[in-house]
Amino acid sequence: MKERQQDRRFRIAHREALIGVGLAVFNFIWWYGFAYGLGSKPPEEYSYVFGLPAWFFYSCVLGFVVMCILVIVVVKFWFVEVPLDDEPEDEGWDEQ
Amino acid sequence: MNGAVIIPLCLFLVLIFFIGFSASKVVRSSDSFLTEYFLGGRELGGLLLAMTMVATYGSASSFIGGPGVAYTEGFGWVLLAMSQVVTGYFVLMILGKKFAIMARRYNAVTLIDFLKERYQSKWVVLVAAFSIIVFLFSAMAAQWIGGARLIESVTGISYLGALFIFAVSVLVYVIIGGFRAVALTDTLQGIVMLIGTLILLIATIVAGGGISNIIADLQAENPNLITPYGADGGLSSAYVSSFWILVGVGVVGLPQVTVRAMSYKNSRSMHRALIVGTIVVGFIMLNMHLIGVFARPILPGIEVGDKVMPLIALEVLPAWVAGIVLAAPMAAIMSTVDSLLLLVSSAVVKDVYLNYIEPRASDNRVKKLSISVTAALGIFVFLMAINPPDLLVWLNLFAFGGLEAAFIWPVIFGLYWQKGNKHGALASMLVGIVSYTLLHNFYPSAFGMHTVVLPVLLSLAAFVAGSLLTHSREQRQTIL
């Protein structure tokens, strides 16, 4: 009984760790893509958003907002609450 | 300087002391001293967990050094600093529930407890404790110097006097209040940072005549300042990206961060901390580095980077508001120092003394020892910082990089790879530390990336090779 409960908790933990890796990869691509995609042309040709250079706005400001929203969505919809102590807190975990 | 600046700073310190004293009551009444003193009794809620993570990480390197470098390098350095947003969610998602469950099962209070139970090896413990004590000690010294310099530049007190004030304030609440005091003060300090940087950013933008105006001034002075490549074009994309390892994902291996991932109460606290932490860390990093860049047209010609924050605050804000805002960088430093101090102390008391010198020490003896070791370490750092080495940011980053190279794979594989064993862990730590030290001194920035990248890859190879090579032999032994 106990083993099965732990398996289930660890499966959840492993999935959430993979989600973390996925988010970090996405974050890096967004950050790198906008910064060096838009920022590598000469400064005279830059366009501006809210007064900031467009590469910076999309990469760092918008990118940050997008990551916050993603983290909220991921945590609210995919993260599962599990007991952290080894003694089962409610019997529901042993079913299934 | 003037009283209006100093009064808010003093009030801030008084508040910190007050928190320390109320936490010490909980420590005195607790029936499990070690877990309470070094881990706050595993009772951290979501907000506290997020704030103590962010505050521990948002150190002098980013708070004092960061805006100063942004002042010199322009937007390229803000881009680099934003690689830290990832720490807000990555650390807790990767270590996550598995680490919390395992830490509870092992009854682990420190990162080293976890490694000890996972790998069952004396040498893993001793190498880990040694590297924590050496590396974090140097990180701590760097932070104290930063704190003292800040007080010096704001109040005009001599460096020694400033160092003394700083040391006493931190020592008192850490010694009496333990982890609980650290987490509570971190939360206060995090809130001060959040509000302080926001006020200062807005005031700076107003003083510079709006964002478009400031950007135009920067471009007129040196067009490179508004590109991602730094003032002289020296920040290559490979170099900036490699900071994703140093200050982003690699943070998973830092002992002061991992210990927080075993301190929370339940999974709900962790979920909340993921969201709050990501928002807060990104917000603070963005604000304070932009302050550094935007300060340039307003106050040109500042030569010592560390003075950019204090000087711009005094320039664009009324004196008493500047006092509140300047409590922010001081908060950042204090909140990093306090956790490092406690961690080094736990490595000495819990990991070395209780494991190998006197495992049967009485509770009372452990209590006295923890408090006196913490105090002795604090005084020792103070003495080191009186005559400090010069390069604040690099001394600090040296410690971070070394610890990351040492611990990242033993922690991650310890959780997620069953074949990982003590030979792999030991090889990985030794290769990480030795290669980092050698590369840092003889071949820094290999392939145009930060020094940390190669040692992290080498220690990965060492872990995998060490574990696989010894795996079959160990299995044979268990069969026999």
A16 to B96: CB separation less than 8 angstroms, yes or no: yes
Name the residue with higher pLDDT: A56 or B257.
Answer: A56
B155, B327 contact by CB (below 8 A)? no
A13 to B97: CB separation less than 8 angstroms, yes or no: yes
From B267's Cα to the closest Cα of chain A, the distance in A is 5
A86 to B101: CB separation less than 8 angstroms, yes or no: yes
Q: What tokens were used for B201? A: 């950013």
If you measure CA to CA, which chain A residue comes closest to B272?
A: A75
If you measure CA to CA, which chain A residue comes closest to B289?
A: A60
Model confidence pLDDT, tens digit, residues B81-123: 999 899 989 999 999 899 999 999 998 988 999 999 999 998 9
Q: Return d(Cα A48, Cα A54) in angstroms, integer.
A: 5
Helices marked H in B30-121? 33-39, 46-57, 60, 66-73, 75-81, 85-106, 111-119
What confidence score (pLDDT) does residue B424 get? 95
Give the domain ranges of chain A. Answer: 2-81
A19 to B93: CB separation less than 8 angstroms, yes or no: yes
Model confidence pLDDT, tens digit, residues B421-444: 999 999 999 999 899 888 887 887
What confidence score (pLDDT) does residue B89 get? 93
For every residue of B334-364, DSSP letters joined together read HHHHHHHHHHHHHIIIIIIIIIII-TT--HH
Q: What top-level class would CATH report for the domain B3-391?
A: mainly alpha
Model confidence pLDDT, tens digit, residues B209-230: 999 999 999 999 999 999 999 9
CB contacts < 8 A, A to B, total 135
Residues in chain A: 96
Name the residue with higher pLDDT: B42 or A1.
Answer: B42
Return mean pLDDT, chain B: 85
Helices marked H in B208-307? 211-221, 237-243, 255-258, 267-298
From B117's Cα to the closest Cα of chain A, the distance in A is 16
Confidence of residue B280 (pLDDT cuts 50, 70, 90): very high
Confidence of residue B62 (pLDDT cuts 50, 70, 90): low
B266 to A83: CB separation less than 8 angstroms, yes or no: yes
A24 to B98: CB separation less than 8 angstroms, yes or no: no
Which of these, B470, B457, B456, lies nearest to B424 by C-alpha position?
B470
B200, B317 contact by CB (below 8 A)? yes
Residues of A in contact with B100 (CB under 8 A): 84
B89 to A50: CB separation less than 8 angstroms, yes or no: no
From A45's Cα to the closest Cα of chain B, the distance in A is 11
Helix axis angle, B319-346 to B46-57, nearest 10°: 90
What confidence score (pLDDT) does residue B269 get? 92
Q: State mean pLDDT over B338-345.
A: 86
Q: Which amino acid is at B175?
A: I
